[in-house]
Structure 1
Amino acid sequence: MSKVAASKGPSDQRWFDIVVYAIAAILMVVVLYPLLFVVTASFSDPARVLNGEVWLLPKGFTLEAYANILHNNKIWTGYGNSIVYMVVGTLINIVMTLLAAYPLSRPDLPGRKGLMMIVTLTMFFSGGLIPNYLLVKELGMVDTMWALIIPGAISTYNLIVMRTYFQNSIPWELQEAAHIDGCSNWRLLISIILPLSKPILAVMVLFYAVAHWNSFFNALIYIRSEDKYPLQLVLREILLISQSATEEGGNVGLEKQILLSESIKYAVIIVSSLPVLIMYPFVQRHFVKGVMIGSVKG
């Protein structure tokens, strides 16, 4: 019986691997094809895109959509604003999350469990849009970049992930030994905790930076001046103007407006995604490790 079971084992494992790889290949195609189509469509003749002729390679190669977008000065202003909001916001996010997560990870913090319960409740309950707007208005942050940064300075989910990482990946005995050697809490945090926390810091930088880069709703609510618009809001405005021109274009040039609007739609996606795609490879090697350690354990 043992020989029969042993002979069936490798065969079963082989079929299991085949099924897993087949499912993984299907999922990869499902995920990658829309991305590839967007890139291809942005460089293709919009008439051929609307006719369904574009599948994998560009048809009727053109850069007209990118020319229309990049010749718009608002795009560059939006890029600059978004970069500033992302850099300043991510820096504040990391500092605030770190200063909250590390104390909550220490077993010698009085009332730690009660504090964590209060922090966790904020994931499920909030004041809502109107109270938040009134608060931001009373603080004098409307039409400033701080309205996009301060209200979301700490993400509760990211705080819990970072706290869990500190609890499970940095031995408490190491911290006690540093205290015995005369290390202060600040010196411990800067000289020991931070160097050992590169994976989770890389994950937090990516999470916060992508959230800032993609955010447009808060800017839509709080920002009034066009020269302070982030890129996402500028691109939204371009799409709305393009669609409006299509609807109001009349018979003259209507077809051209529709085609240009279709082409701009795909080019806008590429333009807004480039910075995140460029940033990701620099934190990729820390990403999986940080997420797994911070989320699975504890």
Structure 2
Amino acid sequence: MKKKKKIGVFDIGNCIFMLFILFITVYPLYFTVIASFSEPSAVATGEVVWRPVGFTLDSYKQVFAYKQIWKGYANTIFYTVLGTVFNLFLTIPAAYAVSKKYLPHRKLLMGFFLLTMYFSGGMVPSYLLVKNLGLINTRAALVLVGGISIYNLIVTRTYFMTSISDSIYEAAKIDGAGELKTFLSIALPLAKPIIAVMVLYYAVAHWNDYFNALLYVSDQTLEPLQSVLRRVLIQNQNALDESMMRQSMQPGELVDSAKRAYAAYTMKYTMVFIASAPLLIAYPFVQKYFVKGVMVGAVKE
């Protein structure tokens, strides 16, 4: 019979430490969810800790009362899908090419990529470039700008170099396959894990992007969800500040101002949940590939 492994002090301490890390990672998201469904006054006074207090959907009703929210959702989905496809179109072939040792001037090319990773032209030159290309206030600006991430390129190149054997490529060449066919028929099917990782990385970046929209888009019909939520929150806060600055207020008006203050506090959590929910729903579908692909470079047996 096999002897049962004794659980030592280190194992117990390690489990406690991992549970602590899990708690501080998961609890903020959990609190955001329960706060978004709780009574605004309960959230503002700190009564909400482990469960919703005074379950209500008022915050969601107030947020979704803005019709631009739905337009922002549609824009963000468009930018995320099209932008991610464009990113993959650039990243995967480039990573495959620079993974080949026989590529002429490969080190020089990688050095150029690394240079752009650490040194950029800056915000003003980037804006002038986009403006001269005629992309200001166009959807293309939020899809084409930042077409490739050098970090993602390096990670994908490492996967091609370490996870796909050169003998497979050699066998394909012996059978008469050219470089393009080898890439499409062999490299891409075997690179599903890293492609899933890149899809997740790029999709999250596009979904959360608001800075490029602030720079290149002033047309509200083209704004992504993050910009819309930011504008709604600022408008709500400004209206609240104006009402609070009034010199003479009746008791009823004071009560209304307090309610609006509490509502504005809760709306922050509601907006965070609205913006995060689609990615949280999508993550389990790519988790299997993500875990495998993100371990690129790990020690193999």
Fold agreement, TM-score > 0.5: yes
Q: CA deviation at 1:145?
A: 1.8
Counterparts in 2 of 1:84-233, with a 5 A limit?
84-233=78-227
Residue in structure 2 matched with residue 260 of structure 1 by the alignment: 263
Cα separation, 1, equivalents of 2:72 and 2:105: 45
Contact 2:193 2:293 in 1 (8 A): yes
Q: Secondary structure at the match of 1:98?
A: helix
Letter in 2 for 1:254: S
Q: Which aligned segments of 4 or more residues in structure 1 are displaced greater than 2 angstroms? A: 250-253, 295-298
* CA distance 1:297–1:115, change in 2 (3 Å): farther
Contact 1:245 1:257 in 2 (8 A): no
Q: CA deviation at 1:296?
A: 4.1
Letter in 1 for 2:262: L
Deviations 1:204-254 (A, max 9, x none): 000000000000000011001100000000000011011111101144221
- Residues matched between the structures, number: 287
Contact 1:164 1:297 in 2 (8 A): no
Cα separation, 2, equivalents of 1:42 and 1:140: 41
Contact 1:142 1:223 in 2 (8 A): yes
Contact 2:137 2:219 in 1 (8 A): yes
Letter in 2 for 1:257: R
Q: Secondary structure at the match of 1:122?
A: helix
Contact 1:86 1:213 in 2 (8 A): yes
Do residues 49 (structure 1) and 55 (structure 2) align? no
Residue in structure 2 matched with residue 28 of structure 1 by the alignment: 22
1:277 aligned to 275, 280, 296, which one?
280
Cα separation, 2, equivalents of 1:122 and 1:292: 25
Deviations 1:119-176 (A, max 9, x none): 1111110000000000000111111122122221100000000000000111112112
Contact 2:69 2:225 in 1 (8 A): yes
Structure 1 unaligned regions, length at least 5 = 1-9
Deviates most, 178-187 or 218-227: 178-187
Q: CA deviation at 1:108?
A: 1.1
Q: CA deviation at 1:297?
A: 6.7
Structure 2 unaligned regions, length at least 5 = none
Do residues 245 (structure 1) and 248 (structure 2) align? no
Q: Percent identity?
A: 47
Cα separation, 2, equivalents of 1:110 and 1:121: 19
Letter in 1 for 2:191: S
Contact 2:41 2:259 in 1 (8 A): no
Q: Secondary structure at the match of 2:295?
A: helix
